Amino acid sequence: MQDDVILRLEGICKEFPGVKALSNVQFTLHKGEIHALMGENGAGKSTLIKVLTGVYQKDAGSIYMDGAPVTINSTQDAQKSGISTVYQEITLCPNLTVAENMYIGRTNEMTTSWKKMNAGAKQLLDSLQIPASPTQQLSDCSIAVQQMVAIARAVDMDCKVLILDEPTSSLDEREVEKLFKLMTDLKSRGVGIIFVTHFLDQVYSVCDRITVLRDGTFVGDYLISELPRVQLVSKMMGKELDSFEDIKQEEIADTIDRRSEPVFEATGLSSAAGVNPYDFTIRKGEVNGFTGLLGSGRSESVRAIYGADKVTGGRVMMDGKEVKIKKPIDAMKQGIGYLPEDRKHDGIIGDLSVKDNIILALQVMKGMFRPISKADAEKFADEYIKLLGIKTASAETPIKSLSGGNQQKCILARWLLTNPVYLILDEPTRGIDVGTKLEIQKLVLKLASEGKSVTFISSEIDEMLHVCKRLIVMRDRHVVGELTGGDLTQTKIMSTIAGGEKK
Amino acid sequence: MAQNSLSKDQNFFLKIIKKQIFIPIAALLVLMLFNLIADPSFFRVELGTSSLGYPVLKGNLITILDNASELVILSIGMTLVTSASGGQDISVGAAIALAGSVVLRVLCGTETRPDHLHAPIIVAFLICCIVAMLFGAFNGVLVAYFKLQPMVATLILFTAGRSIAAWINNNQLPIISEPKFGYFGNFFPGIAIPSPIFIAILFMIITALIMRFTKLSLFTQAVGINAESSRLNGINPQFIKFITYVILGFCVAVAGFIKVSRLSTINYSVIAKDIEMDAILAVALGGNALSGGKFSISSSIIGAYVIQFLTITLYKFEVPAAALPAYKAIVVIILVVLSAPVVRKKLADMKKNFAAKEAN
């Protein structure tokens, strides 16, 4: 195995104005291996991938394919050298068929033989066991299948190196399983796979080797068996981690008064997004969570609380008084804050500055005619940039140029500034590095200890267990269970999600 | 030491070149320089007499400032509409005809040559505002609530506006003989500067105050950049889009009022012809993205003055009126390409590389 190196990067340097994104980074990929590229946000993973795929041009260093040096100046060069990439966001055309997507831009003939194309696509899909038909429109497939089609396209382009950049972040567990099966299948065909992900579990279940980057430098290249998780995390963060366990030890005493009036209470709440009527209560200082597979309706449920989708029924009480929450502003006036799942589309206002993004919700609550003064806005922004440790050049920097984790902190700051009594956080830690994840978890617990109520949603059950005192389990848009205390274990949650006790 | 100051200068330069307002100001300066070299007398301002016999200022500069007034006022509203809805209102020319027609209808009643005004001028102005804002609201509803493409939605009024304008006055062309009505488009007695300039300045001050004392700009930009995100933050994106069209309606009313006051009459098919394109151009020249989002009203305003400056310069060089648009197009394409973000970034990079080389 040591001999069949297909891709070798040496001494890669890349500098952006003011930032050294990569300095002297090396990377080696063998034939038929799945190689995880790990690092926190800003460690240089994306930059390295982009150098490799020709999106960026390296400042120094060399790339060898099969031992021969290659120059990659454009994405075409990369494809010709046999490097294909599947990005986190699907870059296919949803309005074309599966087969069209697989062959688009690749046929050289003047005319297209649809029959041949569909037949070819079918053969490939079958051989990779992808559950899609060539003539199906891509948008009709699930995200996971779309992802697989993208991979099939890459594979068919005769790739030797396949780069998967966070392919699993929008997939649920079953879909991830399928994707992993496809990956191992490709691996046995001798394709070298570079796998970029934030999920440690996934790394350990499918990868052979790990390369760790930190602050644009190469930390090391390890066999998976030689690097236990805690070690990996500490290598990524560059310090001995005070371990995930610490959070547990910080357990706040159960100060929640069960008899007190709930902060928020809903009965028979349902929304146009297809959530079946459910009841829900949360008390002062409580952290609860909604869990379930992707598409189980957990996001839709909290959106109904916030009035983000059209509420179709149910009664809502805040502090024992009945209130009407029909649209987001109603919820905000009641002191509810909502951090949406899709940061890019629902959270940030990309072109606006960090400052404007932070003051936005407070400003909206005050109304258009009572502006927050410039001085106050700057004060608020600086305060929260410091408090949450937001890494930004200045408060005037457009938020879109920040890394994902820092964007998320800005959105958190936005809501903290409104001093909410009840905060809904839908996947606040998705696509965020381990360090920031821990910070956010700690922040949630701190907020709770200050008497705020928080609903916390995460795809990672681990994380939910660390943070939540009570879990509401959803399946197929129904609430199927509520777990507290001793029931809060992985196995119990899994079995509740899987269900099967009734019927 | 010397190197330090050099890089500081460069930084300063880069900062300026990156400012959105840089391109329209630079264009204005280039036009001025060009005229200064070609014929310094271009800038001469002299005392003349108005049609009413008062001493007034005359000269190219005054003409530019005077004639640009309507465009400046429109460009303010157009900037807001562009920012919030990511599209443009192409019906403003027709709407000006409509607004002007309403003014005349109110002042003249049904007569074509009234010997006295049938209503106070202020009443005529207010009614014209209401009507223009209603038509703005019509566009706004189509865009915000029916989610039509702004250009398609406003195409309706673009097509129908001038006929409605003619219909309001029974297809007559009323002429107002009362000199007072002409004050607003020409001169107030005893004041040597054309009134539209004052109206435009007043309008800019009001706009500045609104921008200063409300968060209209933040809300508009937020909606233009990311409507869904804005909604989840409690903003009502539909209402914001709607209101920008109503505001543009008010701008149209003021511009229309000035236009009819200039001539004391109206020609439905010619009045404010193609002004919508100039207004959109002013927004684009100001470096605002026509796809919406962030905006700078002051850049649009300067953009409007650039357009008028260019027109007068071309007149001055005796470009035939028929060929005017072609010449204008050439200049415009240069400006718009220069203000494109891609080109601006390239220029900034070039400057930086140059500076780096020099430093070595």
pLDDT digits (tens, 9 = 90+) for A247-260: 443 444 455 556 66
**pLDDT, mean of residues A215-238:** 82
Nearest to A361 among B226, B231, B233 (CB): B233
Question: What residues are paired with A78 via a beta bridge?
Answer: none
d(CA B288, CA B85): 13
Range scoring the smallest mean pLDDT among A14-28, B137-151, B339-353: B339-353
Q: What's the domain count of chain B? A: 1
**Position B310 pLDDT exceeds 60:** yes
Query: Residue A476 — very low, low, confident or very high, per pLDDT cuts 50/70/90?
Result: confident
Tell me the nearest-neighbour CA distance from B47 into chain A, angstroms: 45
Range scoring the smallest mean pLDDT among A486-490, B234-238, B322-326: A486-490
**Position B360 pLDDT exceeds 80:** no
Q: Report the share of chain B in percent with pLDDT over 90.
A: 61
User: Between the CA of residue A106 and those of A85, A109, B61, what are the distances in Å?
Assistant: 15, 9, 60
d(CA A397, CA A354): 6
**pLDDT, mean of residues A165-188:** 82
**Tokens 């902190």 identify what position?**
A409
Q: Which two tokens stand for residue A114?
A: 């649809």
- Better pLDDT: B12 or A396: A396
**Position B155 pLDDT exceeds 60:** yes
Tell me the nearest-neighbour CA distance from A362 into chain B, angstroms: 9
**Position A236 pLDDT exceeds 80:** no
**Across all residues in chain B, what is the average pLDDT?**
89
**Position A500 pLDDT exceeds 60:** no
**pLDDT, mean of residues B159-178:** 92
**Position A362 pLDDT exceeds 90:** yes
Closest residue of B to A355, CA-based?
A: B218
Helix (H) or strand (E) holding B313: helix B297-316
What totals of helices (H) and strands (E) does chain B contain, helices first? 15, 2
**Position B34 pLDDT exceeds 70:** yes
d(CA B67, CA B270): 16
Q: Which of B219, B220, B229 to mutate to test the interface with A (most CBs of A within 10 A)?
A: B229
- The pLDDT, as a whole number, for residue A501 is 44
Q: Which two tokens stand for residue A477?
A: 């848009």
d(CA B327, CA A67): 59
Question: What residues are paired with A397 via a beta bridge?
Answer: none
* Residue B308 main-chain phi, psi, to 5 deg: -65, -40
d(CA A68, CA A313): 66
- The pLDDT, as a whole number, for residue B339 is 66
- Which residues between 237 and 256 in chain A have a beta carbon less than 8 angstroms from any beta carbon of chain B? none
Q: Which chain B residues touch A399 with a CB distance below 8 Å?
A: none
Contact A368 B213 (CB under 8 A): no
Task: Identify the CA nearest to A453 among candidates A265, A285, A317, A291.
Answer: A285
Q: Which residues span the domain enclosing B87?
A: 2-359
Q: Which two tokens stand for residue A217?
A: 């430098």
Nearest to A351 among B225, B231, B236 (CB): B225
**Position B3 pLDDT exceeds 80:** no
Dihedral sign for Cα A145, A147, A150, A152, please. negative
**Position A239 pLDDT exceeds 60:** no
Tell me the nearest-neighbour CA distance from B136 into chain A, angstroms: 21
Q: For chain B, how long is the longest CA-to-CA vector?
A: 79
Query: Residue A171 — very low, low, confident or very high, per pLDDT cuts 50/70/90?
Result: confident
**Position A244 pLDDT exceeds 70:** no
Over its C-alpha atoms, chain B yields an Rg (Å, rounded) of: 22
Closest residue of A to B210, CA-based?
A: A369
User: Coil, strand or helix: which one is A270?
Assistant: strand
Left, alpha or beta for B54 (phi > 0: left; psi -120 to 50: alpha)?
Answer: beta
- The pLDDT, as a whole number, for residue A256 is 55
**pLDDT, mean of residues A137-153:** 83
Q: Which two tokens stand for residue A170?
A: 């929008």
- The pLDDT, as a whole number, for residue B9 is 64
Nearest to B221 among A346, A352, A363 (CB): A352
- The pLDDT, as a whole number, for residue A243 is 43
Contact A349 B234 (CB under 8 A): no
A450 touches chain B (CB under 8 A): no
**Position A382 pLDDT exceeds 90:** yes
- The pLDDT, as a whole number, for residue B1 is 39
Maximum average pLDDT range among A275-279, A343-347, A414-418, B325-329: A414-418
The domains found in chain A, sorted by start residue, are: 5-242 (3.40.50.300), 243-335+421-503 (3.40.50.300), 342-419 (no CATH)
**pLDDT, mean of residues A88-103:** 82
Query: Residue B156 — very low, low, confident or very high, per pLDDT cuts 50/70/90?
Result: very high
d(CA A233, CA A227): 10
**Across all residues in chain A, what is the average pLDDT?**
84
pLDDT digits (tens, 9 = 90+) for A271-284: 887 788 899 999 88
Strands A311-318 and A478-484, bridge-based pairing = unpaired
DSSP single-letter state for residue B12: H
pLDDT digits (tens, 9 = 90+) for B121-135: 999 999 999 999 999
Contacts of B237 (CB under 8 A, 6+ apart): B144, B223, B227, B230, B231
A328 touches chain B (CB under 8 A): yes
Q: Report the share of chain B in percent with pLDDT over 70.
A: 93
d(CA B338, CA B298): 18
Question: Cα B61 to chain center, whole Å?
Answer: 17
Q: Which chain B residues touch A420 with a CB distance below 8 Å?
A: none
Task: Identify the CA nearest to A200 among candidates A30, A434, A439.
Answer: A434
Q: Which chain A residues touch B213 with a CB distance below 8 Å?
A: 369, 371
d(CA A324, CA A322): 7
Tell me the nearest-neighbour CA distance from B254 into chain A, angstroms: 24
A364 touches chain B (CB under 8 A): yes
Contact B228 A329 (CB under 8 A): no
Contacts of A453 (CB under 8 A, 6+ apart): A263, A264, A282, A283, A284, A285, A286, A287, A421, A422, A423
**Position A342 pLDDT exceeds 70:** yes
Range scoring the smallest mean pLDDT among A40-44, A244-248, A491-495, B148-152: A244-248
Q: Report the share of chain A in percent with pLDDT over 70.
A: 91
**Global ipTM:** 0.83
Q: Which two tokens stand for residue A281?
A: 């209560």
pLDDT digits (tens, 9 = 90+) for B188-232: 988 899 999 999 999 999 999 999 999 999 999 999 999 999 999
d(CA A145, CA A176): 10
- Which residues between 392 and 421 in chain A have a beta carbon less than 8 angstroms from any beta carbon of chain B? 414
**Position A94 pLDDT exceeds 60:** yes
Contact (Cβ atoms closer than 8 angstroms) between residue B323 and residue B112? no
**Position B4 pLDDT exceeds 70:** no
d(CA A425, CA A409): 12
- Better pLDDT: A16 or A12: A12
pLDDT digits (tens, 9 = 90+) for A429-440: 877 777 888 888
pLDDT digits (tens, 9 = 90+) for B49-91: 877 778 889 899 999 999 999 999 999 999 999 999 999 999 9
CA-angle at A60, arms to A54 and A64, nearest 5°: 60
**Position A485 pLDDT exceeds 90:** no
Q: Which two tokens stand for residue A242?
A: 């005070």
Q: Which amino acid is at A104?
A: I
A3 touches chain B (CB under 8 A): no
CATH of the domain at B41: 1.10.3470
**pLDDT, mean of residues B332-356:** 75
Q: What is the 3-state secondary structure (H, E, C) of A370-402?
A: CCCCHHHHHHHHHHHHHHHCCCCCCCCCEHHHC
Strands A60-65 and A68-70, bridge-based pairing = antiparallel
**Position A112 pLDDT exceeds 90:** no
Contact A348 B219 (CB under 8 A): no
- Better pLDDT: A308 or A435: A308
Q: Which of B19, B215, B216, B239 to mutate to test the interface with A (most CBs of A within 10 A)?
A: B215
**Position A393 pLDDT exceeds 90:** no
pLDDT digits (tens, 9 = 90+) for A290-305: 987 666 788 889 999 9
* Residue B113 main-chain phi, psi, to 5 deg: -130, 70
**pLDDT, mean of residues B325-346:** 78
Contact B226 A414 (CB under 8 A): no
Q: Which two tokens stand for residue A378?
A: 């700057």
DSSP single-letter state for residue A353: B
Tell me the nearest-neighbour CA distance from A289 into chain B, angstroms: 21
d(CA A316, CA A304): 11
Contacts of A159 (CB under 8 A, 6+ apart): A79, A82, A83, A84, A191
**pLDDT, mean of residues A448-466:** 87
